[in-house]
Structure 1
């Protein structure tokens, strides 16, 4: 009797929901659905504006352009899931890249060893961010705003403001710029590395206790702590792992750009945050999926690439990105009100 009453109440409650409320509930459970719709619509629109957008050659170029921001956005997703934000992503990547390149320049050091040192440096930079946030209790925004300037200055001082061309670097550091073709679609090893990064980190977030801790810390750190979750330690680990991911992005960037330059990818911070937010990860922490971040990164680059092919002025491309961010945050606020 009790079971049938409960079922009837559940059905009655379901009938009381409007279509808009059901959509709100769907987006709350699957935050990557709305960015997927945006991506599909944008592909259709840009193909109509310029049929070259949908060619295999253009898709290969789009995937290569997306790889770097997508790699950075993995670490940014981890940080934002904990209700933080990282403004130093681009600076850490550039510093790591310049160290890798400078150490290996003209045979000075074996490529694999230079790469490992660059990864260690990026990991240490992430650890520093984490220590400032967890041990001194500084706000993540302020911490990473400060380290953004610090790491940028160190990269410029270390490199002397000079670029290092691919011809001066060992094949190992340039390897991720090489690739293969499937029909007319050319993929680089850098793109495949990023796919592997998404698969590994996505599995960790969804299938391990550490992943559940990350979501719990972002949703309510005090409740997580009272439930036995080592909140401070998890937060420190998140920033450290993010630093490692930025280091891998640095290696991919060398292959992608064919050089190491201290002025590489100046909009990295904005693009990585935009990809995460558009991908459905809540800026307030505790909600989001890595698949949404990948879709968000594709949206960011699709708009830049598609509008460029359509002959739209650069300023309007920036305007479109800004509108996307505001709309994404507005949708997030609306989804968070789901009952």
Structure 2
């Protein structure tokens, strides 16, 4: 039995006692972001004439694709009580490599895509190795990697952007219509498959249980026989592959690789993860909540823009949500001890 299972058993309510609202919230990490999303949709539907339309709904989902993908990789890392400040720059460098190899490099689009994905996975492995072997704090490791990759991206691109001409690299931007009215892209289907796949891996496999257990109590998990180093390293590598899919999503949305793109992508992904109910202290949360968190942030920005609210107030609202989410998580974990 893992350390996470032991803590869950200890935190379980006494038989016959009705669980409190706080206990129920602690178990259902998606309840908070789902309620916030429903509330935002209702408010903006009543206060604006253009929010609740098919076109705007499709736009909101499209805006979720890149940040949501980044946030899924971030979720895996945060579940181990780590953090990845370099995720957006890993993705940006991936877009540059893919676009340049398929353009001036003359490689087929599929091969350029695979090379870019391998690079993202390798960069994830670098972070994971430094964290697991040298015992360096994830914050410091990924902050340093962020600085390095920002410079490398500028040097590799020589400060320029690359137009993407490969149909393979832009495939996730392909549009079609459901029932002749609802606009969808291939990227939306890919995001849905990734959410389902990562949810299954985290909830239905031994690997997923180990990931949560490491975040909950790494030392106790190690003492139960779990190779915690291998588990954490695998998380960073898989997160790197998720960032590669984010690069593919980005090229599908805008067929242009720019070294200056997604400057706040790392913070946006952390915001989505926290609002989605994943604990910054590790061991609690998951990708469905992260996607809900991404939708909350996106709907908030979209709705406030349509209501004519200054973008500075949008940042204030998002910041308040993040602080509230962390405060609630801290309270819940304190009650569970």
1:10 Cα deviation from its structure 2 partner: 3.8
- What SS does structure 2 have at the residue aligned with 1:93? helix
Match of 1:171 in 2: 167
Deviations 1:177-229 (A, max 9, x none): 11211243211111111111111111111110000000010000000000011
Match of 1:221 in 2: 218
Match of 1:95 in 2: 93
Structure of greater Rg: 1
d(CA) in 2 for partners of 1:320 and 1:257? 28
State whether residues 77 and 290 of structure 1, in contact with CA within 8 Å, keep that contact through their aligned partners in structure 2.
Answer: yes
Q: Number of paired residues?
A: 322
d(CA) in 1 for partners of 2:142 and 2:31? 30
Q: TM-score, normalised by structure 1?
A: 0.93
1:304 Cα deviation from its structure 2 partner: 1.2
1:236 aligns with 2:219: no
Deviations 1:234-272 (A, max 9, x none): 001101110110011001101111211111121211110
Match of 2:334 in 1: 337
1:290 Cα deviation from its structure 2 partner: 1.5
1:55 Cα deviation from its structure 2 partner: 0.3
d(CA) in 2 for partners of 1:237 and 1:107? 31
* Residue from 61, 67, 73 that aligns with 2:71: 73
Which sections of structure 1, spanning at least 5 residues, go unmatched? 1-8
d(CA) in 2 for partners of 1:55 and 1:107? 43
Larger deviation: 98-107 or 87-96? 98-107
d(CA) in 2 for partners of 1:87 and 1:260? 20
* Residue from 296, 321, 324 that aligns with 1:324: 321
1:255 aligns with 2:252: yes
RMSD (Å), alpha carbons: 1.3
Q: What does 1:194-209 correspond to in 2, within 5 Å?
A: 194-209=191-206
Moved over 3 A (4+): none
State whether residues 173 and 254 of structure 1, in contact with CA within 8 Å, keep that contact through their aligned partners in structure 2.
Answer: yes
Q: TM-score, normalised by structure 2?
A: 0.93
1:289 aligns with 2:283: no
Deviations 1:270-289 (A, max 9, x none): 11001110010111001112
Match of 2:5 in 1: none
| Greater helix content | 1
1:107 Cα deviation from its structure 2 partner: 7.0
Which sections of structure 2, spanning at least 5 residues, go unmatched? 1-13
d(CA) in 1 for partners of 2:248 and 2:304? 28
Match of 1:6 in 2: none
- What SS does structure 2 have at the residue aligned with 1:99? helix
